[in-house]
Amino acid sequence: MSPNRPPPAAAVLGCAGAALLPEERAFFAAANPFGLILFARNIQAPEAVRRLILDFRTLVGRPDAPVFIDQEGGRVQRLRPPHWPALPAPGLIGALAASDKAAAIEAASLLGQAIAASVAPIGVDVACAPMADVRAPDAHAHVIGDRAYASDPELVACLAAATEASLRAAGIATTPKHAPGHGRATLDSHHDLPHVSASLEELEADLAPFKAMTAAPIWMTAHIVYQALDPSAPATCSRLCLDWLRRETGYRGLIASDDLAMKALGGAVDERARAAMAAGCDFVLYCPGDIQGGAAAIDGAGPLAPDAVALWAAWTAQRPTPPADDPFALANRLWAMLEPAPNLSAQVLTRPHA
């Protein structure tokens, strides 16, 4: 980042499709958001995604502008067959631990390697992974479910940390989520605002995975009200929650909001962004890809603070070069360690012909 150029806006935004529209090009060039986040609507063949990413970075004038993607495995993976391999849900890896914990740790590390090998060749450098949430038995059945490695905090810590470390070793920045833990929520924060009544001691137990991943460059917040911490605001917008999170874990990296467009949050987009930044987020995510909402997120978030600029620069300066691994070979090794999924065919684990 040029020392003479103003810092980017403290926002990571989505875009509408597989190529930037003329109005998006003008907006990104003028607004200079910190980064871009990709969804299924943005994904075609690998070369098309590479062009989209290069176009964005050229427009904002920063070759180190981060590009994010949700690529956890299982239900949440934006890069899918035939161009990328299917990856197992973290919950399948957690289930393996019941019979062979060492194999589960190896599988968790392989998952990180396979994610990195999938995202790095197209220019994505931030994986919105791993899941650090501890699954509770009475929680919402779908929003977390098999996205979580397990229901035991120490096992989640062990497996998530293995995935996180292998991603970073492959040069991919990580965003353990959703701090301080989404696993107890009985509502889906995409649609409603969950309230968690767990005691402070229970919430502290849920921090074990985050404590195991303090080397991660970025953590992502949860849009959840934790009544023992702050009954008046979700963690994303609560200074009490985020100060407690940093104090209890010793985390000194960047904190990103979850998507501001989610219905758990109230108020206009700029108000949501302002509240998240005031609470202690370093930048916000706004993912739908509409320019009006993106402009509002940037207006509310303001510029990226000097400390955040320095933290990202420090990560990019020491980031390892991604190895030239074959994601399909890694995925095949990983699936071989797990119970085969009934709907998995050999075709989804075979690289397509050019």
The mean pLDDT value for 157-166 works out to 98
In one-letter notation, the amino acid at residue 132 is A
The boundaries of the domain holding residue 85 are: 9-337
Higher pLDDT among residues 336 and 349, named by residue: 336
Higher pLDDT among residues 70 and 347, named by residue: 70
Residue 34 domain flag: yes
Local confidence band at 92 (pLDDT 50, 70, 90 cut-offs)? very high
Residue 342 domain flag: no
CA R_g for the chain: 19
In one-letter notation, the amino acid at residue 39 is F
CB 211 within 8 A of CB 243: no
In one-letter notation, the amino acid at residue 33 is P
In 3D space, the residue among 311, 257, 312 whose CA is nearest the CA of residue 285 turns out to be: 257
Residue 196 domain flag: yes
Quote the CA–CA distance of 179 and 223 in Å, as a whole number: 9
Query: What b/e sequence results for 300-320 when a residue is b if at least 16 CB atoms lie within 10 Å of its CB, and e otherwise?
Result: bbebbeeebbebbeebbeebe
Give the CATH number for residue 237: 3.20.20.300
Residue 298 domain flag: yes
The mean pLDDT value for 100-113 works out to 97
Residue 213 domain flag: yes
Res 345: pLDDT: 37
Residue 149 domain flag: yes
Residue 316 domain flag: yes
CA distances from 199 to 95, 178, 184, 224, 240 (A): 27, 18, 11, 14, 15
Percent of the chain, pLDDT > 70?
Answer: 93
Query: What b/e sequence results for 265-299 when a residue is b if at least 16 CB atoms lie within 10 Å of its CB, and e otherwise?
Result: beeebbebbbbbbebbbbbbbbbbbbbebbbbbbb
Q: What is the pLDDT of residues 251-304, one digit of tens each?
A: 999 999 999 999 889 999 999 999 999 999 999 999 999 999 999 999 999 999
Higher pLDDT among residues 10 and 140, named by residue: 10
Res 351: pLDDT: 43
For residue 173, pLDDT over 50 is answered with yes
Percent of the chain, pLDDT > 90?
Answer: 86
Q: Which residues are annotated as catalytic? A: 190, 258
Residue 345 domain flag: no
Quote the CA–CA distance of 255 and 258 in Å, as a whole number: 10
The mean pLDDT value for 102-113 works out to 98
The residue assigned the tokens 């699954």 is: 135
Query: Which residues, other chains included, contact 346 with Cβ-Cβ below 8 Å and sequence gap of 6+?
Result: none
Q: What is the pLDDT of residues 327-346, one digit of tens each?
A: 999 999 999 999 654 444 33
Quote the CA–CA distance of 175 and 286 in Å, as a whole number: 16
pTM: 0.93
Local confidence band at 2 (pLDDT 50, 70, 90 cut-offs)? low
Res 1: pLDDT: 54
For residue 326, pLDDT over 90 is answered with yes
Q: SS3 sequence, the chain?
A: CCCCCCCCEEEEECCCCCCCCHHHHHHHHHHCEEEEEECHHHCCCHHHHHHHHHHHHHHHCCCCCCEEECEEECCEECCCCCCCCCCCCHHHHHHHCCCCHHHHHHHHHHHHHHHHHHHHHHCCCEECCCECCCCCCCCCCCCCHHHCCCCCHHHHHHHHHHHHHHHHHCCCEECCEEECCCCCCCCCCCCCCCEECCCHHHHHHHCHHHHCCCCCCEEEECCCEECCCCCCCCHHHCHHHHHHHHHHHCCCCEEEEEECCCCCCCCCHHHHHHHHHHHCCCEEEECCCCHHHHHHHHHHHCECCHHHHHHHHHHHHHCCCCCCCCHHHHHHHHHHHCCCCCCCCHHHHCCCCC
Q: Is 336 exposed, middle or buried (0-12, 13-18, 19+ CB in 10 A)?
A: exposed
Q: What is the pLDDT of residues 47-68, one digit of tens each?
A: 999 999 999 999 999 999 999 9
The total number of structural domains that make up the chain:
1
The least confident of 135-144, 160-169, 247-256 is 135-144
